[in-house]
């Protein structure tokens, strides 16, 4: 008997031990999965309303790259304020028209990149408000919307109905008090727009405001990138909008752009074109500013991939009528611990090599001085051990691309600036390797 008890006790102990391991294993796996940064898989929003999509389990070092795309030709959402770093990483989405869109978050938590997607369903406000409007024919259901409207005597409304309706009427009084009181407020603003699918509401678009220099004679905006056709021309627009480069339709997908030409008064020329966020934040609501190297037209500029309301600041200067003989790139090394070596030709020939250079002239790939917009500057950043360098070129309107070893197969720390059409500043920022 004693042996039997010992055996049973041993078996029970073994079972409990295995059970504990299993439970601990499951718990460990669950906790690990729960801490994986991600965004919600599905979310809904009404037309005209805004919803915030947050990154769950984001940390201090979390970095997020957001992208928003409507599931179809129609634009159904408008991206709003984005927070791309830290624990509060999030994006605001506004419903523009009924339909579905996908929000994609590429999350870097410091160890690896995680891609998380959320399907946003935009619901029509009009369809939801049809329920309380059409219901009055049925007595039991009528009580919900009727009770919401009066603010003084909800009990009197319930009491005035027939006895059989008292029970169902009392139940919905709490539910509709939260929903219908808020929903109908937004309804009247959308109700007049019957063709919202075909004609988006202007206030829901990404607006472009021009901060004009006093010496600008005129600004000409083109609704498409095909500005040579003469179609879709807007002279001195009070406000512009991000548009599809081919169709000219309003675009809030993040792929929209604006094309415009600056006409200076006599004796003046364009000095700078810069873009800032209209809301005063440091957010960059665009990808790049293109000038003649891309548009191939004097004083015609393009701001690409607009993701929010922006202000385009244009400054002019007194025209310099001195004949142009060369376009110069000036090097600025911030932080020391690096020198610049330039080459006249694209093949990096030793014949045209200049060490400790402070400037360089735009040349053809063969090495001849160029002022036709086809010139380039080839250079190497010689960084001391333990340091790294980052190169930035400005203004962006005076060149097309900057290529490096990652993009163009060049040797390490070798760069090529292409299609230069004006003087540029090449800033090399040096910092210690972490």
DSSP for 59-94, please give it. -TT-EEEEEEEESSSS--EEEEEEE-BSTT-EEEEE
Mean pLDDT of 196-216: 71
Residue 358: pLDDT band (50, 70, 90) is very high
Question: Average pLDDT in the 253-281 region?
Answer: 93
**Which of 178-182, 211-215, 408-412, 422-426 is the least confident region?**
178-182
Q: Is the pLDDT of residue 160 over 50?
A: no
- Going by pLDDT thresholds of 50, 70 and 90, the confidence category of residue 188 is very low
pLDDT attached to residue 110: 75
What is each CA distance from 400 to 227, 239, 289, 325, in whole angstroms?
19, 27, 10, 20
Report DSSP state, residue 243.
Answer: B
Q: Which two tokens stand for residue 317?
A: 């200067």
For residue 155, pLDDT over 50 is answered with: no
Nearest to 306, CA basis, from 285, 288, 290: 285
Question: Are 403 and 346 in contact, with CB atoms under 8 Å apart?
Answer: no
Percent of the chain, pLDDT > 90? 44
> How sure is the predictor about 156, in pLDDT bands with cuts at 50, 70 and 90?
very low
Q: Are 17 and 3 in contact (CB under 8 A)?
A: no
**What is the side-by-side order of every strand in the sheet holding 268-277?**
240-241, 207-211, 310-318, 268-277
- Which pLDDT band holds residue 151 (cuts at 50, 70, 90)? very low
Instruction: Region of 324 please: left (phi>0), alpha (psi -120 to 50) or beta.
Output: beta
Q: How far apart are the first and last CA of the chain?
A: 70
Q: What is the mean pLDDT of residues 353-359?
A: 96
Supply the pLDDT for residue 130.
44
Q: Mean pLDDT over all residues of the chain?
A: 79
| 8 Å CB contact between 98 and 76 | yes
Give residue 6's pLDDT. Answer: 55
As a whole number, mean pLDDT of residues 236-256 equals: 91
Between the ranges 79-83, 160-164, 366-370, where is the mean pLDDT highest? Answer: 366-370
CB 120 within 8 A of CB 39: no
Two tokens at 235? 């002279």
- As a whole number of angstroms, the distance between CA 409 and CA 86 comes to 34
Cα Rg of the chain, angstroms: 31
**Mapping DSSP to helix (H, G, I), strand (E, B) and coil, where does residue 112 land?**
coil
pLDDT higher than 90, residue 406:
no
**pLDDT band at residue 3 under the 50/70/90 scheme:** low
Q: Which residue has the tokens 């190497």?
A: 380
Nearest CA among 226, 221, 217 for reference residue 238: 221
**Contact 40/180 with Cβ under 8 angstroms?**
no
Interatomic CA distance for residues 13 and 24, integer angstroms: 16
In the predicted structure, residue 280 carries a pLDDT above the cut 70:
yes
Which one has a higher pLDDT value, 1 or 292? 292
Diameter of the chain by CA atoms? 114
Distance, CA of 393 to CA of 144 (rounded, Å): 63
Q: How confident is the model at residue 113 (pLDDT cuts 50, 70, 90)?
A: confident
Q: Where do we find the tokens 């202007």?
A: 202
Residue 414 belongs to what H/E stretch?
A: strand 414-420
44/50 Cα distance (integer angstroms): 10
User: Any idea which of 54-63, 314-323, 343-352, 424-433 has the lowest mean pLDDT?
Assistant: 54-63
pLDDT of residue 45: 87
What digits encode the pLDDT tens for the residues 415-432?
Answer: 999 999 999 999 999 999
Chain segment 361-397, per-residue pLDDT in tens: 999 999 999 999 999 999 999 999 999 999 999 999 9
Q: How confident is the model at residue 275 (pLDDT cuts 50, 70, 90)?
A: very high
Distances (CA, A) of 106 to 89, 91, 186: 12, 13, 33
| Distance, CA of 329 to CA of 365 (rounded, Å) | 16
Angle at alpha carbon of residue 12, lines to 11 and 17, rounded to 5°: 100
Lowest-pLDDT choice from 70-84, 252-266, 360-374: 70-84
């Amino acid at each position: 008997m004693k042996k039997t008890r010992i055996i049973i006790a041993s078996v029970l102990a073994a079972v409990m031990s295995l059970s504990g391991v299993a439970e601990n294993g499951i718990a460990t796996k669950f906790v690990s999965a729960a801490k994986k940064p991600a965004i919600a898989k599905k979310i809904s929003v009404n037309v005209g309303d805004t919803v915030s999509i947050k990154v769950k389990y984001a940390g201090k070092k979390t970095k997020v790259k957001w992208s928003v795309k409507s599931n179809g030709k129609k634009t159904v959402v408008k991206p709003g304020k984005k927070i791309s770093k830290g624990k509060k990483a999030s994006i605001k989405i506004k419903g523009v028209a009924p339909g579905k869109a996908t929000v994609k978050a590429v999350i870097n938590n410091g160890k690896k990149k995680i891609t998380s997607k959320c399907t946003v369903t935009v619901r029509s406000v009009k369809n939801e408000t049809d329920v309380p409007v059409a219901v009055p024919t049925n007595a039991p259901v009528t009580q919900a919307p009727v009770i919401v409207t009066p603010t003084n005597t909800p009990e009197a409304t319930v009491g005035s109905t027939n006895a059989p309706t008292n029970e169902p009427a009392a139940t919905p009084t709490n539910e509709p008090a939260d929903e219908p009181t808020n929903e109908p407020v937004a309804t009247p603003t959308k109700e007049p727009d019957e063709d919202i699918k075909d004609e988006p509401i202007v206030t829901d678009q990404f607006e472009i405001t021009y901060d004009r220099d006093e010496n600008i004679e005129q600004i000409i905006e083109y609704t498409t990138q095909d500005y040579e056709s003469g179609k879709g021309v807007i002279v001195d627009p009070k406000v512009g909008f991000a548009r599809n480069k081919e169709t000219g339709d309003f675009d809030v997908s993040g792929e929209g752009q604006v094309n415009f030409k600056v006409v200076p008064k006599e004796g003046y020329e364009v000095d700078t074109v810069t873009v800032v966020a209209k809301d005063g934040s440091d957010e960059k609501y665009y990808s790049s500013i293109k000038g003649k190297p891309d548009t191939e037209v004097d004083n015609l500029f393009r701001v690409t991939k607009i993701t929010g309301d922006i202000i385009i600041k244009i400054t002019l200067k007194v025209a310099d009528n001195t004949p142009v003989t060369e376009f110069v790139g000036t090097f600025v090394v911030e932080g020391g611990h690096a020198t610049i070596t330039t080459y006249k030709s694209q093949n990096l020939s030793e014949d045209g090599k200049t060490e400790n250079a402070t400037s360089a002239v735009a040349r053809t790939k063969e090495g001849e001085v160029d002022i036709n917009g086809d010139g380039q500057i080839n250079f190497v950043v010689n960084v001391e051990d333990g340091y790294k360098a980052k190169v930035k070129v400005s203004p962006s309107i005076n060149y097309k691309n900057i290529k490096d070893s990652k993009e163009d197969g060049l040797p390490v720390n070798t760069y090529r600036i292409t299609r230069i059409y004006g003087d540029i500043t090449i800033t090399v920022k040096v910092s210690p390797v972490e």
